[in-house]
């Protein structure tokens, strides 16, 4: 499962790193098991953003944009998959083939970007390092 640096989680939530640290301390977010610096559990972040999204500032953006975010829901059936990405205050839904969702390894907590061009949404992830 994806673990995020505190600064990455803060950027996705639209809050400060100190706020994320407070949420980790209070149990609002789950801390990822890590040998290094503190990290946020990706599934915990996705759950928070899906159900209890904090107040986030509105962003100005053009119609053609790449929305970096976190996958909060994936529903697969025999042929298709519905994928929801929470990107700051924006929730983007994409309908794609199940094969594509499986190849990308999409699941709640995975970092992904929704690329908007007209009425099409393309989901991208960073290549494994």
Residue 116 confidence (pLDDT)? 79
Q: For residue 41, tell me if it sits in a domain.
A: yes
Residue 52 confidence (pLDDT)? 58
- Give me the number of domains the chain comprises: 2
b/e 23-44 (16+ beta carbons within 10 angstroms → b): bbeeeebbbbeeeeeebbbbbb
* 14/12 Cα distance (integer angstroms): 6
Helix (H, G, I), strand (E, B), or coil: what is residue 129? Answer: coil
Q: For residue 56, tell me if it sits in a domain.
A: no
Sign of the torsion angle spanned by Cα atoms 18, 32, 91, 112 = positive
The pTM of the full predicted model, rounded to 2 decimals, is 0.55
Q: For residue 47, tell me if it sits in a domain.
A: yes
Domain match, 75 and 116 both: yes
Q: For residue 88, tell me if it sits in a domain.
A: yes
Q: Which domain holds residue 40?
A: 3-51
Question: Half-sphere exposure of residue 127, counting CA atoms within 13 Å on the CB side?
Answer: 1
Q: For residue 80, tell me if it sits in a domain.
A: yes
Q: For residue 58, tell me if it sits in a domain.
A: no
Q: For residue 57, tell me if it sits in a domain.
A: no
pLDDT in tens, the chain (129 residues): 688 999 999 888 888 889 899 999 999 999 998 778 899 999 999 888 887 554 544 444 444 567 889 999 999 999 999 999 999 888 999 999 999 999 999 999 999 988 876 767 778 888 777
Q: For residue 33, tell me if it sits in a domain.
A: yes
Domain match, 120 and 86 both: yes
Q: What CATH number should be reported for the domain holding residue 92?
A: 2.40.50.100
């Amino acid at each position: 499962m994806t673990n995020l640096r505190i600064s990455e989680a803060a950027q996705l939530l639209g809050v400060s790193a100190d706020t994320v640290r407070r949420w980790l301390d209070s149990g609002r977010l789950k801390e990822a098991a890590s040998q290094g610096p503190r990290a946020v559990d990706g599934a915990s972040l996705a759950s928070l953003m899906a159900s209890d999204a904090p107040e986030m500032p509105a962003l100005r953006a053009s119609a053609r944009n790449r929305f970096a975010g976190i996958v909060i829901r994936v529903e697969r059936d025999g042929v298709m998959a519905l994928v929801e990405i929470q990107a700051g205050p924006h929730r983007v839904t994409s309908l794609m083939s199940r094969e594509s969702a499986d190849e990308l390894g999409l699941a709640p907590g995975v970092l992904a970007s929704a690329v908007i061009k007209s009425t099409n949404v393309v989901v991208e992830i960073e290549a494994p390092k």
